Structure 1
Amino acid sequence: MTSSSPEDASRSSPLATSGQAQNAFGHNITFAEAVRVWLRVAMLSFGGPAGQIAVMHRILVDEKQWVSESRFLHALNYCMVLPGPEAQQLATYLGWLLHGVKGGLVAGTLFVLPGFVAILGLSLLYAGFQEASLVQALFFGIKAAVLAVVIQAVVRIAQRALKNRVMVTLAALAFVAIFFFAVPFPLVIATAALVGLIGRHLDPKRFVVIKGHTTPAEGERAIDAMMANGTGHHTEASRGRTLKVLGIWLPLWFVPLIALALSLGMDNVFTQIGLFFSKLAVVTFGGAYSVLAYMAQEAVQNHGWLAPGEMLDGLGMAESTPGPLIQVVQFVGFMGAFRDSGGLDPFTAGVLASILATWVTFIPCFLWIFLGAPYVEKLRGNQAVSAALSAVTAAVVGVMLNLAIWFAVHVAFAEVQTSKAWGIQWLAPQWDSVQLASVVLALGAFVAILRFKIGMLPVLFTSALLGMLWHWL
Structure 2
Amino acid sequence: MAQELIPPEAEIKTVSFWQAFLFWLKLGFISFGGPAGQIAVMHQELVEQKRWISEKRFLHALNYCMLLPGPEAQQLATYIGWLMHRTAGGLVAGILFVLPSLFILIGLSWVYVKFGDVPIIAGLFYGIKPAVVAIVFHATHRIGSRSLKNNFLWLIAALSFIAIFFFSLPFPLIVFSAAIIGYLTSKKYPSLFANGNTHQQSKKDYGRALIDDDTPTPAHAIFSWKRLGSTVLFGALLWLIPSISLSLMLGWDHAYTQMAWFFTKAALLTFGGAYAVLPYVYQGAVNYYSWLSPTQMIDGLALGESTPGPLIMVVAFVGFLGGYNHALLGSEHLFLAGAIGAIIVTWFTFLFSFIFILAGAPIIESTHNELKFTAPLTAITAAIVGVILNLALFFSYHVLWPAGFGGSFDFVAALIAFVALIGLFYFELKVMYVLAGSAAIGLLCFSFF
TM-score normalised by L of structure 2: 0.71
Q: CA deviation at 1:181?
A: 1.4
Q: CA separation of 1:471/1:294 partners in 2, compared to 1, >3 Å: closer, same or farther? A: same
Correspondences of 1:19-418 after superposition (within 5 Å): 21=12, 32=22, 35-41=25-31, 55-60=34-39, 75=65, 78-79=68-69, 86=70, 89-99=71-81, 100-123=90-113, 125=114, 131=117, 135-210=121-196, 214-217=199-202, 238-245=224-231, 266=250, 272-284=254-266, 286=277, 287-292=280-285, 293-296=287-290, 311=293, 314-315=296-297, 317-322=299-304, 324-326=313-315, 327-337=317-327, 340=330, 346=332, 349-373=333-357, 378=363, 386-416=374-404
In structure 2, the residue matched to 1:460 is 435
In structure 2, the residue matched to 1:472 is 447
In structure 2, give the amino acid aligned to 1:190.
F
Q: CA deviation at 1:108?
A: 2.8
Q: CA separation of 1:151/1:69 partners in 2, compared to 1, >3 Å: closer, same or farther? A: farther
Q: Secondary structure at the match of 2:435?
A: helix
Q: CA deviation at 1:94?
A: 2.8
Q: Is the 8 A contact 1:144 1:442 kept in 2?
A: yes
- Between the two proteins, what is the percent identity of the paired residues? 22
Q: CA separation of 1:335/1:176 partners in 2, compared to 1, >3 Å: closer, same or farther? A: closer
Q: CA separation of 1:236/1:35 partners in 2, compared to 1, >3 Å: closer, same or farther? A: farther
Q: Which moved more, 1:175-184 or 1:280-289?
A: 280-289
Give the Cα–Cα distance (whole angstroms) in 2 for the partners of residues 74 and 158 of structure 1. Answer: 21
Instruction: String of CA shifts for 1:347-405, please: whole Å, max 9, x gaps.
Output: xx223222321222121223211222456665797999621221111112222222222
Q: Secondary structure at the match of 2:195?
A: coil
In structure 1, give the amino acid aligned to 2:262.
L
Q: Is the 8 A contact 1:197 1:384 kept in 2?
A: no
Q: CA deviation at 1:245?
A: 4.3
Q: CA separation of 1:410/1:329 partners in 2, compared to 1, >3 Å: closer, same or farther? A: same
In structure 2, give the amino acid aligned to 1:294.
Y
In structure 2, give the amino acid aligned to 1:448.
G
Q: Is the 8 A contact 1:197 1:388 kept in 2?
A: yes
Give the Cα–Cα distance (whole angstroms) in 1 for the partners of residues 206 and 130 of structure 2. Answer: 32
Q: Which moved more, 1:161-170 or 1:385-394?
A: 385-394
Q: CA separation of 1:384/1:103 partners in 2, compared to 1, >3 Å: closer, same or farther? A: closer
Q: Which moved more, 1:330-339 or 1:192-201?
A: 330-339
In structure 1, the residue matched to 2:87 is none
Give the Cα–Cα distance (whole angstroms) in 1 for the partners of residues 395 and 40 of structure 2. Answer: 24
Q: CA deviation at 1:147?
A: 3.1
In structure 2, the residue matched to 1:83 is none
Q: CA separation of 1:280/1:193 partners in 2, compared to 1, >3 Å: closer, same or farther? A: closer
Q: Secondary structure at the match of 1:282?
A: helix
Q: Secondary structure at the match of 1:139?
A: helix
Q: CA separation of 1:257/1:193 partners in 2, compared to 1, >3 Å: closer, same or farther? A: closer
Q: CA separation of 1:187/1:336 partners in 2, compared to 1, >3 Å: closer, same or farther? A: closer
Q: CA separation of 1:229/1:369 partners in 2, compared to 1, >3 Å: closer, same or farther? A: farther
Give the Cα–Cα distance (whole angstroms) in 1 for the partners of residues 26 and 188 of structure 2. Answer: 46
Q: Is the 8 A contact 1:235 1:374 kept in 2?
A: no
Give the Cα–Cα distance (whole angstroms) in 2 for the partners of residues 361 and 332 of structure 1. Answer: 10
Q: CA deviation at 1:141?
A: 1.5
Q: Is the 8 A contact 2:156 2:382 kept in 1?
A: yes
Give the Cα–Cα distance (whole angstroms) in 2 for the partners of residues 75 and 394 of structure 1. Answer: 18
In structure 1, the residue matched to 2:86 is none
In structure 1, give the amino acid aligned to 2:284.
V
Count the aligned residue pairs.
397
Q: CA separation of 1:336/1:153 partners in 2, compared to 1, >3 Å: closer, same or farther? A: closer
Q: CA separation of 1:462/1:317 partners in 2, compared to 1, >3 Å: closer, same or farther? A: closer
* Gap runs ≥5 in structure 1: 1-9, 45-54, 80-85, 300-309, 417-428
In structure 2, give the amino acid aligned to 1:410.
H
Q: Secondary structure at the match of 1:97?
A: helix
Q: Which moved more, 1:252-261 or 1:317-326?
A: 252-261
In structure 2, the residue matched to 1:47 is none
Give the Cα–Cα distance (whole angstroms) in 1 for the partners of residues 7 and 137 of structure 2. Answer: 31
Give the Cα–Cα distance (whole angstroms) in 2 for the partners of residues 170 and 228 of structure 1. Answer: 38
Q: Is the 8 A contact 1:245 1:367 kept in 2?
A: no
Give the Cα–Cα distance (whole angstroms) in 2 for the partners of residues 221 and 193 of structure 1. Answer: 39
Q: What is the root-mean-square deviation of aligned Cα atoms in Å?
A: 4.3
Q: Secondary structure at the match of 1:445?
A: helix
Q: Secondary structure at the match of 1:119?
A: helix
Give the Cα–Cα distance (whole angstroms) in 1 for the partners of residues 149 and 122 of structure 2. Answer: 40
Give the Cα–Cα distance (whole angstroms) in 2 for the partners of residues 190 and 316 of structure 1. Answer: 27
In structure 2, give the amino acid aligned to 1:206.
L
In structure 1, give the amino acid aligned to 2:136.
V
Give the Cα–Cα distance (whole angstroms) in 1 for the partners of residues 162 and 233 of structure 2. Answer: 42
* Gap runs ≥5 in structure 2: 48-54, 82-89, 270-276, 305-310
Q: CA deviation at 1:98?
A: 3.4
Give the Cα–Cα distance (whole angstroms) in 2 for the partners of residues 121 and 211 of structure 1. Answer: 40
Q: CA deviation at 1:144?
A: 2.4
Q: Is the 8 A contact 1:39 1:110 kept in 2?
A: yes
